Structure 1
Amino acid sequence: MIKLLDCTLRDGGYYTNWDFDKTLVDQYVAAMEALPVSYLELGYRSLPQKGYYGEYFYSPVDRLKALKEMAPNTGFALMIDEKNADPQVIPQLFKPLQGICEMVRMAVAPNKIADAIVLAQILKDLGFLVAVNIMYISKIKLEARFFDQVNQGEGFVDFLYLVDSYGGIMPKEVGEKIRMAKENTPFTIGFHGHNNMELALANSYTAMQNGAGMIDATVTGMGRGAGNLKTELILTYLQAQLDWRVDFSQLSHILPFFEEMQRNYGWGTNLPYMISGAYSLPQKDVMDWMGKRRYTINGIVQAMTQSQQKPSQAYPNSSTFNIPKPSGVLIVGGGQSVATHLPQIRRVLAANPDWLVIHCSTRNMAYFTQLANPQVVCLTGQEGKKMQKRLNEVAELNLLACVLPPSPRKMGAFVPPALENKIMELEGYSFEHSYPDGPLALALQMAWNSGSNYVGLIGMDGYQQTLHTDFELRTESQVVLDAFGKSYVGKWEALTPTGYQMPQGSIYTLA
């Protein structure tokens, strides 16, 4: 008898930072209790990680207790990431969940099976069912040595999952690998499919036909990157083909809420995700790029395909350009406040003609024509294409240089042919952060490199977070600002109103 595991909150948390509306979660859990779903994977259980992760990344015990009262007949599961798990703290994390959570699943890289088995033994001793989820199955060969390693977990491991991490495996290969795992191990075999190539249902069906005993799905396919097999789809199939009893009124009650989130966050396949699946490329990069409006789908596709052929083109380092040391730097963002305070901004620059102006967006570039101040434009994503369309405006800038992210660049940047002689690339960063291709990071580093002891920022209004893209962009900007502020020894401040946490000054105090 095939079993179904729904992992909407755990896999969908990649879009929401593992925060979900309490009422929605209550309704979702109640619906799953009324449906033929054997297990609910509610989230991760983790040691504290750097950065913000929400409720269902840490899965507080009291919250799980309350949910268990709503679904006493459905098994609860949680996931741990083997690479972040410490065997010494596993009892501390999971002992409080005895009697609440039935299963612990581990995300495991193929070369870390031995480490996973150590964790499995500890979890089994605590009384949990244990699943080992082997990732990247489209890139591994299931040979005798592989099964010898996996079978060391006999007695500790209950489920062996094959995970199509890239969403590009074909049904024939799924059938072969599920069958091999079934024939060479004593475990119940599970399958977790991603939907990059829109094969999640076909691959899950093939897995079931070849001996898989457990299949993963999520409501509306919500999940990392292109998402997963849809719970409502697999339940429809199971009722039609295997006579499962499905109360579709339970699904119809919760589906509109998840469909609304899908319109906001935008999971589901598209051309970049299809290519990442076809070539077994990491979904994380695509998800990061799609989460920022600075990249077009065409640009993402080109970056993905070209990255398999050649490294990004190198340009002269910024150190080879003659940038006079300014008494101050003005970084210009894309916010509306630039237009609001433009007369005063231009007065300040006219009074300080040696100040370096750095544009981290081309949106407000036209306001800075016919000024004596030397100017630099950060070229990331499609900013170069925007400049190409506005060369008349560019000609009226005192443009010293256009700066690209350091090599090698994951994402390419379009360089206007007319500006080839002004292109330079950053050598690297003097402050630690996670966004080397981000325009604000480039701008702040160029300000650092200028040698100035003063940096003012305008147009840093902040995103309203009404969309997932707003959240992504706002998070990136705040992380970069925090990192810069910890390392820069000069004075820096926002000179127009900002929604970011940073020192606040006023453009009206400067001239």
Structure 2
Amino acid sequence: MTKIRLNDTTLRDGSHSVRHQYTEQQVRQVVRALDDANIEMIEVTHGDGLGGSSFNYGFSQVSDLDLIESAADEAKNAKIAALLLPGLGTIHDLKEAHARGAKMVRIATHCTEADVSIQHFQAARELGMETAGFLMLSHRSSPAELAQQASIMVDAGCQCVSVVDSAGALIMNEAKDRVAALYDAIGDRAQVGFHGHQNMSFGVANSVLAVEAGASQIDGSLAGLGAGAGNTPTEVAAIAFERLGIETGVDTKKILDAADLLKGMVNRLPSMDRGSIVQGQMGVYNSFLLHAERAAERYDIPAPEILAEVGRRGYVGGQEDMIIEVALDLKKSTATV
């Protein structure tokens, strides 16, 4: 029987959906429920990682360091992980997160910029932390190119590199081929993971195909809570893997209980609405959705039109501020017609 680790990102990627307004009590409740369901790794930070609370990305209600400390205090067995984007989070932030109880760090870069993560992986390994790498917007690189970037991360001390479908744009073999390329390149030195989104409704299917291609770590979020159309739902993935004879160690009844708990906490669950579908169609970074919706309200330009233009311009994570420029340009072009 194949054995994988099912990671949960409700308290990090899900932060996008709640505009980074998680309370300490909510984090404690979700961690307790996930821990009871035998989830082995729980990611906790602002949606954009350590240091993400800012004017550009949105301010957290509670600092992610305080949330990490609360999560670590609550978890009996699960490992608490933090996300870090080099250039946003710093090595100082990493050390503080470790001091507060984070045992793992996941370092995320654009799919062609793995070299900016080297010093962060080295620092994390010196701290004794488990390390993982995120190659974001993986659809923007070919399988061979992605494998080269994964090797850079592994050489720096990364223990698992994930193909990250940040726009929910990958469809079936597009995901499987990228995972297979990473497995062929680094499988004798590190694990391979997959992080899916639901924009084109392939999060669970792509995750299954990723395991078939060699992935041993799969990400999900309770009820799919996450950026864009949401993540692979943890509870659905757990049951799908159980039916397929892929062992996760997750208690499926308790993970369903955890999803019900989460649904009672949030006002809005992600959906495959027009805007998020356009993100998948055009390959737009999923955290752009709520930013585009705010710009749409302000400038009276439909959010799907803003997102489509963002896709045509090829913007990547970290360029959320450019959404305003897109909205203004579209407004200007509409006025001159």
> What TM-score, normalized to structure 1?
0.55
Cα 1:289/1:114, change in 2 over 3 Å: closer
C-alpha displacement of 1:96: 1.5
**1:29 maps to 2:31:** yes
2:73 aligned with 1:72, yes or no? no
Q: Is the 8 A contact 1:160 1:190 kept in 2?
A: yes
1:24/1:65 CA distance change after superposition, 3 Å: closer
Which residue of structure 1 lines up, in the alignment, with residue 328 of structure 2? 409
Q: Is the 8 A contact 2:299 2:327 kept in 1?
A: no
Provide closer, same or farther for how the CA distance between residues 293 and 265 of structure 1 changes in structure 2, counting only shifts above 3 A. Answer: farther
Q: 2:9 aligns with which of 7, 10, 26?
A: 7
Could you give the per-residue CA deviations for residues 157-184 of structure 1, whole angstroms, max 9, x where no partner exists?
A: 1110110011011111111111110011
Q: How does 1:342-357 map to 2 (within 5 A)?
A: none
* Structure-2 residue corresponding to 1:190: 193
> Structure 2: which amino acid aligns with 1:93?
E
**Aligned counterparts, 1:74-473, within 5 A:** 74-87=78-91, 89-90=92-93, 92-97=95-100, 100-143=101-144, 147=148, 150-151=151-152, 153-154=154-155, 156-185=157-186, 186-242=189-245, 246-262=250-266, 264-291=267-294, 294=297, 299-305=302-308, 409=328, 411-412=330-331
For residues 23 and 236 of structure 1, do their structure 2 counterparts lie closer, same or farther at Cα, with a shift above 3 Å needed?
same
Query: Which of residues 53, 57, 60 in structure 1 aligns to 2:59?
Result: 53
Deviation at 1:274, TM superposition (A): 1.2
Aligned counterparts of 2:285 and 2:146: Cα–Cα separation in 1: 26
For 1:195, give the aligned amino acid.
Answer: Q
RMSD: 3.3
Kept in 2, the 8 Å contact 1:9–1:56? The answer is no
Does the residue aligned with 1:276 lie in a helix, a strand or coil? Answer: helix
Question: What stretches of structure 1 of length at least 5 have no aligned partner?
Answer: 311-404, 416-422, 426-511
Structure 2 CA distance, aligned partners of 1:295 and 1:408? Answer: 9
Identity of aligned residues (%): 19
One-letter code aligned to 1:156: G
8 Å contact 1:33–1:71 — kept in the other structure? yes
Whole-angstrom distance in 1 between the partners of 2:208 and 2:329: 36
TM-score scaled to structure 2, two decimals?
A: 0.81
Secondary structure at 1:409's aligned position in 2? Answer: helix
SS in 1 for 2:328: coil
SS where residue 267 of structure 1 aligns? coil
Give the counterpart letter for 2:241 in structure 1.
L
Contact 2:306 2:327 in 1 (8 A): no
How far the C-alpha of 1:65 sits from its partner, in A, is 4.4
One-letter identity of the residue aligned with 1:41: E
Q: Is the 8 A contact 1:132 1:160 kept in 2?
A: yes
Query: More relative contact order in 1 or in 2 (CA 8 Å, sep 6+)?
Result: 2
How many pairs are equivalent? 318
| Counterpart-to-counterpart distance in 1, 2:103 and 2:311 | 43
Q: 1:59 to 1:307 in 2, by over 3 A?
A: closer
C-alpha offsets along residues 150-208 of structure 1, whole Å, 9 cap, x if unaligned?
A: 34633611110110011011111111111110011121001101110011001101101
- One-letter code aligned to 2:7: L
Contact 2:222/2:262 (8 A) holds in 1 = yes
